[in-house]
Amino acid sequence: MGERREVYSLCCMCTGRCPILVEVEDGIVKHIWGNPHVFGAKSLCPRGAAGVAFEYDNERPQYPMIRDGERGSGKWRRVSWDEALDFIADKLKKIIAEDGAKAIALSDRGGPHTELHKLFLAAIGSPNYFTHDASCSNSVHNAHMSIAGHARNTVGYDYRNCKYMVVFGRNLLESLITGEARNVIEMINSGGKLVYIDVRWNYTASKAYKFFMINPGTDYALALALINVIVNNNLYDVDFVNKYVVGMEYLRSFVQPYTPEWAEKETGIPAEEIRKIAYEAAEAKPSVIFHPGWMTAWTENDFYFRRAIYTLNALMGSYEAKGGIFIAKGAGDCGYKIKTPTSIAPKVTEERCDGAGTKYPWIRKNWGMLQVLPEVVLTGNPYPVRAYIAMRHDPLVAMPDFDTWVKAFDKLDLVVAIDVNWSLTAWYADVILPESTYLERTDHVIVRKGLRPQLALRQKAVEPRFDSRSRFQIFKALAERLGKGEHFPWKDEVELVNWQLEGTGWTIEDFQKKGVIDLTDKPIWYDRNNLKFNTPTGKIEVYSEFLEKAGVPSFAPYERPASPPEGMLRLVTGKIALHTQGRTTSNNPILNELCPENHLYLHPDTAKKFGVKEGDTVVVSANGTEERIKVKVSPYVHPEIAFMLHGFGDIVPLRTRSFGKGALDTRLMKGKLKVTVGGNCPLFETFVSLKKA
C-alpha cells in the first residue's frame, strides 16, 4: 500500500457544491465521500460519487487549442498557454480600443465561485456579466427581490422542522442536493406532510402525503385560489401580516375572482382539495413552507406565480419561523468579515447591453438576461458586443434557440470556452482553455449560508492530469496581458485564501481539519419582533410601488395557458439524480452506463392517439427542427405533455459515449429568447409534433 491521505473539498459535479472527502493513494483519487462533519454521514449522490470516473476520463479538453477551420468543424491546433492567452488578449485589446470593454461579455453558471470572473470583467470595464439563470431561476429570483428584497439563493428552508410543505414541480428528492433530500425525508419521517404538485409523478411525488397532477401551465391559478381561501376565511397569521405585509387590501380585492371552483376548471384539481390544502397549511402555520422552486423558466407568468408563492409564505407567517423559511445567515451575522475578490474591483460605469436594471428596472443587474445577448450581437443594439467568454457554461445546450445562438457566434470576433468538458459551446469556439478539474485545483473561500453558516473551501486533491490551469491562473494571466494585473494582486490561490481570512484568526490550514469552518454552534434566527426586509418599505411588499411605477403590476390577471394545437403536445423537461447538468454527467463513464440516453415519456392515451408504443423511435419536431428519441409509455405523465430529460442528444463527436444518443430538448425550443416580466425564458411554452420514425 502506498501513501494514503484524505483531502476535504467541495464537489463540482453539479451546482450544489456539496462538501466532500476525497481519498487519495499515491496521487490517485480512489474514492469520494460526502463530508461527515457536514452531513453526519458519508453519503453522496450518484453524480458526486462519479467524480472519480470524471477525473480519469480522457474525453475532455487536455491542452489549449485554437480553431483551425470553420466554426463547428472540429478542426483545431494545439498551442501553448502563452500563445492561447496572447491570442485572446490581442483580440480583446483590439475590441476594447475600437468599441470599449462593454463589447466583451462573459457568462457562467452563477453561484459563489464566480468572484474571479466578475473581478476580471470589472477590471477591464465591462458590465456584461451573465449567469445561466435566464433558463433557470431568474423569475423566482426577481420575484423575491420584488417582494422581500432578497435574492432567491439567500432564502433557506427549515425542512426538518416543517409541519406542512407544498411543492410545485421541484423534484427535491432527485434534483441536486443530498443534504436537502435527507432533510425532507426526516421531515416526513417526523410527521410533516408534503403536498406535491407536478405534471409528472416522480420520486418526490412517491413520498408525498398528497400528489396532484396539475394541468400544464396552470400553477398560478392554484396559487391564487389558495390565497383566495386563506384571505377570505382569515386563515393567515394576523399578527405577522399586520406588522410586516404591505398591500393586504389590494391582495384581498385582487384574488376575489379566483375561487377554488374556478381553479378546479383550470387546474384539474378538485375545489375541495384546494380548500383542504389551505386549511391544513393554516393549521400548521407558521411551520409551513410553500416552496417557490429553483428552475423556474416555465412560462411567461412565472414571475407572478412565484410572487404568489412567496405571498403564501408571508400569509402563513413562515418567515424566520421554525419549520418555515428564513433569510440565510452569513459571516456578518456571526461577527466575521470575509473578504471577497470583487470587494477590490473598480466600479463599472457602462450600462448593460440587456437592459437589466435600466430598461427593465425590476430585473436585477447581478444575473442579467442572457437570452438577450444573441439579438444584441446580431443587431448591434444598444451597442456592439464582439467577444464572448463562456466560463464552464454551455448556452448552446442550456439555452433555447440553438440556431440563433450559432448565428450570433458566427458574427462574434472572438468566442472563448473555458471548460473541463467538451461542451457544445467549446465545439463552436475560437479558443478552448482547459480548466483543471475541481479535484485538481483550489478555489477561493465561500460562505455556506444558512441557519448555521460555515466557511468552505475547494482544495486541490491531486495534480492536473493534463495541460490545464485553474480559473485563478487563467483570469490572472489574462488581466496581466490586458494591463490590469493590479486587480489580481495575489501570487496564487493560497495567498488569495489567506487574504480573504485576514482578521479572522484562521488560515488555509484550518480547512484541513474537517473541510469547513463553523461560524456558529447554534442556529441563528432573526428576531420575529423586529424583522427588516430589503424593500423600500422595509416590509414584504405584496403591493409594490416600485413595480407599479415601472409599469409592472404587482400581480397580473391570470391568463389561461395556450393549449397544444391539434396533433401537438407541450414539451416539458426535467432532471434525475443521475443527470442534472448534462455536459458534466451525460458522457461520464459511470453515469452514462446507468442512463445512456433520454426517452420521450407519453401517457398511454397519448401514445395510442399518435400510434406509437413503448420502445418506438419517434421524430419530435418544432419549427422545422427535428430530434429522434425512443418512447416510454407511462400513466404517470400528463396526457397533454411530452416529457424528456434535459442534456442529451450530444452532437460533439469527441464525447463518444453520449454522441448521437437521445434528443436535445433545447434545440426544439425556438422563439423562446424572450424577455418575460420575470427575466426568464418560457421554455415550457414549446409545442411539438411527433411521428413514428
Residue-wise DSSP of 368-414: --GGGHHHHHHH--SS---EEEEES--HHHHSS-HHHHHHHHHH-SE
Class of domain 65-135+351-436+466-503: alpha beta
Q: What is the pLDDT of residues 43-72, one digit of tens each?
A: 888 999 999 999 999 999 999 999 999 999
The verdict on pTM exceeding 0.75 is yes
> What's the pLDDT at 1?
60
Domains of the chain, by residue range, sit at 65-135+351-436+466-503, 159-323+534-549, 569-692
Beta strands in 87-207 (DSSP E): 104-107, 129-130, 155-157, 164-168, 193-198
Q: What is the pLDDT of residues 496-522, one digit of tens each?
A: 999 999 999 999 999 999 999 999 999
Average pLDDT, the chain: 96
> What's the pLDDT at 320?
99
> What's the pLDDT at 582?
64
Long-range CB contacts (< 8 A, 24+ apart) of 646-649?
Answer: 646/573, 646/574, 646/575, 646/579, 646/582, 646/598, 647/397, 647/575, 647/579, 647/580, 647/581, 647/582, 647/583, 647/585, 647/586, 647/598, 648/579, 648/582, 648/586, 648/597, 648/598, 649/598
pLDDT band at residue 41 under the 50/70/90 scheme? confident
Give me the CATH code for the 569-692 domain, please.
Answer: 2.40.40.20
pLDDT band at residue 325 under the 50/70/90 scheme? very high
Between CA 483 and CA 126 the distance in angstroms is 15
User: Has residue 198 got a pLDDT over 70?
Assistant: yes
Give me the CATH code for the 159-323+534-549 domain, please.
Answer: 3.40.228.10
Between residues 174 and 618, the one the model is more confident about: 618
Beta bridge partners of 107: 130, 390
Between CA 267 and CA 360 the distance in angstroms is 31
